[in-house]
Structure 1
Amino acid sequence: MYELKTKENDNSVIEFIESVETPKKREDAYRLLDIFTETTGYPAKMWGPSIIGFGSYHYKYASGHEGDAALVGFSPRKAKISLYFATGDDKREELLKDFGKHTAGKACVYINKVADIDVDVLKALINQSIKFLRETYTEQ
Structure 2
Amino acid sequence: MYELKTKENNNDVIEFIENVDSPKKREDAYKLLDIFTETTGYKAKMWGPSIIGFGSYHYSYDSGHEGDAALVGFSPRKAKISLYFAAGDQKREELLNDFGKHTTGKACVYINKVDDIDVDVLKDLINHSIDFLKQNYEVRN
**Shift of residue 115 of structure 1?**
0.1
Q: Tell me what 2:29 maps to.
A: 29
Query: How much has 1:96 moved relative to structure 2?
Result: 0.1
Using the aligned pairs only, state the percent identity. Answer: 84
- Are 2:3 and 1:3 aligned? yes
> Hey, what does 1:89 align to over in structure 2?
89
Superposition deviation, residue 62 in structure 1: 1.3
Aligned-pair CA distance for 1:68: 0.1
Letter in structure 1 aligned against 2:98? D
**Unaligned ranges ≥5, structure 1:** none
Mapping of residues 49-128 of structure 1, within 5 Å: 49-128=49-128
Shift of 1:102: 0.2
- TM-score, length-scaled by structure 1: 0.99
Task: Work out the CA distance in 1 between the residues paired with 2:99 and 2:22.
Answer: 24
In the superposition, the TM-score normalised over structure 2's length comes to 0.98
The number of residues matched between the two structures is: 140
Structure 2 unaligned residues grouped into runs of 5+: none
Whole-Å separation in 1 of the counterparts to 2:114 and 2:91: 21
Query: Structure 1: which 4+ aligned runs deviate by more than 3 Å?
Result: none
- Hey, what does 2:40 align to over in structure 1? 40
Q: Hey, what's the Cα distance between the residues in 1 that align with 2:17 and 2:60?
A: 31
Which residue number corresponds to residue 134 of structure 2? 134
SS at match of 2:31: helix
* Letter paired with 2:86: A
Question: Counterpart amino acid of 1:19?
Answer: N
Q: C-alpha root-mean-square deviation of aligned residues, in Å?
A: 0.4
